[in-house]
Amino acid sequence: MTSKPQNQIHDSYVHGQKMCASMTYLFGQILGLVSGKMTGNPSISEQVSSYMMSLWTCKATHAITSETLKKLYNENNKPENSKIKVYEPSLWSQAADIDDWGGGITRRALQAIYTIAFLCLLCSDELHDDDSITLTLDFWKTHHDGGIKPFHIYPLPWDEAHLCPVHALGKWIKASKITSGYLFWKMASGDRPDADDKPMTSEQFLELFQNNLLNIRVDPIPYRTHSFRCGGCQYLSSVWCCTEFSNFTIVCYFISRNDNPTDKHEDYFNPAQKPAIKCFQCGRSCHCA
């Protein structure tokens, strides 16, 4: 088991569970104290229960759908919203419009995050080739020490532009002019990336994401950073699998991209790759299949 450094604060729900379990064992099994009045087991007291509840991380209750992403795409690509304005320092005393929460650059960043998190089954806070992009993560929820296979993403048809990470990422890089460091910088005032190369925080993204949902008259409360992973799973399983059940792409993708020796890893998302029925003996698309 890998322990955290002593100078790092241990404030997660899992750490609280370990502390609670240790206290329960000490007072219940070793000292023989059960639930009493004042001399009972303190690990099940109201104060401890309240503390444990405060450590809960709010998870997503609703998954993002492709229809919602299309509405967000249409909203963010309106001329008045997608226009990149010249930076002008503003005063705090100026009353801002409730809908003026982000300009063209901020909305381009959101669209890129939306599409990447949706198709790559990522949380929003986990984040060039010839005709595709290769996305490599330094860490993942199940791979804290790296060793993650890259995501090879190809352009989608224009009727699915609201789901295409290639076009969204290209627009974001062109507008932000970011060539090194973090891919998504923290957004500063005036609709511009932070000059200190600081990454966008989960709190800032969630605030921008919820404001974006309000623009299309969608209640933002049920949506969290996990909404994209949940929605992406539902989309890939229903849209990609039902049309061609023999396509092994989605199966490999779901089980941590466990490569089939007969399938190239970079072809999982290749729209030009034709599905084929392969022989269960030799693994080739021969007549004996």
With tokens 């929460």, the residue in question is 101
Q: Is the pLDDT of residue 216 over 90?
A: yes
pLDDT of residue 247: 44
Give the mean pLDDT of 241-265. Answer: 49
Integer Cα distance of 213 and 223 in angstroms? 9
Integer Cα distance of 120 and 182 in angstroms? 18
pLDDT of residue 29: 73
Integer Cα distance of 159 and 148 in angstroms? 31
Model confidence band, residue 140 (pLDDT cutoffs 50, 70, 90): low
Q: Is the pLDDT of residue 243 over 50?
A: no
DSSP states along 176-194: H---SS-SSBPEETTTEE-
Question: pLDDT: is 54 or 82 the higher one?
Answer: 82
Integer Cα distance of 123 and 36 in angstroms? 43
Give the mean pLDDT of 19-41. Answer: 69
Among 188, 58, 171, 184, which residue's Cα sits nearest to residue 117? 184
**193: which strand partners?**
187
With tokens 């229960």, the residue in question is 49
Give the mean pLDDT of 74-88. Answer: 87
Rounded-to-10 torsion of CA 141, 143, 147, 153: -20
Q: Is the pLDDT of residue 213 over 50?
A: yes
Model confidence band, residue 263 (pLDDT cutoffs 50, 70, 90): low
The answer to whether 113 and 124 have CB atoms below 8 angstroms apart is yes
With tokens 């370990």, the residue in question is 18
The residues, ordered by sequence, that sit 6+ positions from 156 with a Cβ below 8 Å of its Cβ are 163, 164, 166, 167, 271
**pTM as predicted:** 0.66
Using one digit for the tens of pLDDT, what is the confidence trace for 45-78? 667 666 666 666 555 568 899 999 999 999 999 9
pLDDT of residue 209: 93
pLDDT of residue 171: 92
Using one digit for the tens of pLDDT, what is the confidence trace for 148-177? 677 778 888 888 899 998 899 889 999 988
Q: Is the pLDDT of residue 253 over 90?
A: no
Give the mean pLDDT of 138-150. Answer: 59
Model confidence band, residue 27 (pLDDT cutoffs 50, 70, 90): confident
Question: pLDDT: is 282 or 77 the higher one?
Answer: 77
Q: At what angle do helices 227-235 and 66-76 cross, to 10 degrees?
A: 120
The answer to whether 98 and 210 have CB atoms below 8 angstroms apart is no
State the DSSP code for 32. -
pLDDT of residue 211: 92
Q: Is the pLDDT of residue 118 over 80?
A: yes
Among 137, 159, 154, 155, which residue's Cα sits nearest to residue 146? 137
